[in-house]
């Protein structure tokens, strides 16, 4: 009869997610993982097969719990589109109380570290990015329809501008840049959406 596992597997994945987010894939050794998860190498390999498999599971966990927040933050909550966008973008670079500053976004950190070298990883990062793009597209489409944004706004171009702003903000937050300067960049990106139509004022 198989012996029951002596640890919480989901808790282990959460711990691994935090470790990989802080240190990255290459800088995290199997010994580091064992120390963080309180697992012996044999238990680690028996449960997760190898470091790469655990990393993929950590990415999936992060995407399921955090990286889809754009959908919720940009959802139809009654706020004007520019207000909702600004609040969400500033939230990306604001360290919550008690959290470790400069962690950045696990998905963005991974994309900048590994690029397209690993097809399984890049598939996951691109899927997460698509969620963000689609959330932006949906909110901008609705705002143009209801007259909050200029009728002639190029939605696809605006999505790419805002998405690129998101990635830049995440990288700069991880680098410890001044939040006030990042807020200036946020305001400039939002102003690029054009003037508020007279009917929406």
Of 38, 61, 84, which residue is a domain's last?
61
In a domain, 4, yes or no: no
Q: Are residues 47 and 74 in the same domain?
A: no
Give me the tens of pLDDT residue by residue for the chain, a chain 201 residues long. Answer: 344 455 688 999 999 999 999 999 999 999 999 999 988 888 888 889 999 999 999 999 999 887 667 777 787 677 899 999 999 999 988 876 666 777 889 999 999 999 999 999 999 999 999 999 999 999 999 999 999 999 999 999 999 999 999 999 999 999 999 999 999 999 999 999 999 887 666
Q: Measured in Å, how far apart are the chain's first and last C-alpha atoms?
A: 70
- Return the ∠ at Cα 149 (arms to 78 and 108), rounded to 5°: 75
What CATH code is carried by the domain that includes residue 181? Answer: 1.10.357.10
Residue 193 in contact with residue 149, Cβ under 8 Å? yes
Tokens standing for 125?
């990062």
Q: Are residues 44 and 141 in the same domain?
A: no
Residue 19 in contact with residue 36, Cβ under 8 Å? yes
């Amino acid at each position: 009869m198989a012996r029951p596992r002596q640890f919480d597997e989901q808790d282990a994945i959460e711990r691994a997610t935090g470790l990989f987010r802080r240190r990255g894939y290459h800088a995290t050794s199997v010994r580091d993982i064992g120390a963080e998860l309180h697992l012996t190498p044999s238990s680690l390999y028996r449960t997760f097969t190898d470091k790469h498999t655990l990393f993929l599971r950590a990415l999936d966990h992060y995407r399921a719990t955090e990286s889809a927040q754009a959908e919720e933050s940009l959802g139809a909550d009654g706020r004007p589109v520019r207000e909702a966008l600004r609040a969400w973008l500033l939230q990306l670079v604001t360290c919550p109380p008690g959290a470790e500053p400069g962690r950045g976004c696990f998905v963005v950190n991974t994309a900048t570290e590994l690029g397209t070298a690993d097809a399984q990883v890049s598939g996951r990062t691109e899927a997460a990015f698509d969620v963000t793009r689609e959330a932006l597209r949906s909110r901008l489409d609705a705002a143009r329809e209801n007259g909050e944004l200029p009728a002639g706004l190029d939605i696809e171009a605006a999505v790419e501008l805002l998405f690129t702003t998101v990635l830049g903000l995440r990288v700069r937050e991880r680098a410890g840049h001044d939040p006030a300067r990042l807020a200036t960049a946020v305001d400039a990106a939002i102003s690029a959406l054009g003037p508020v139509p007279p009917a929406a004022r």
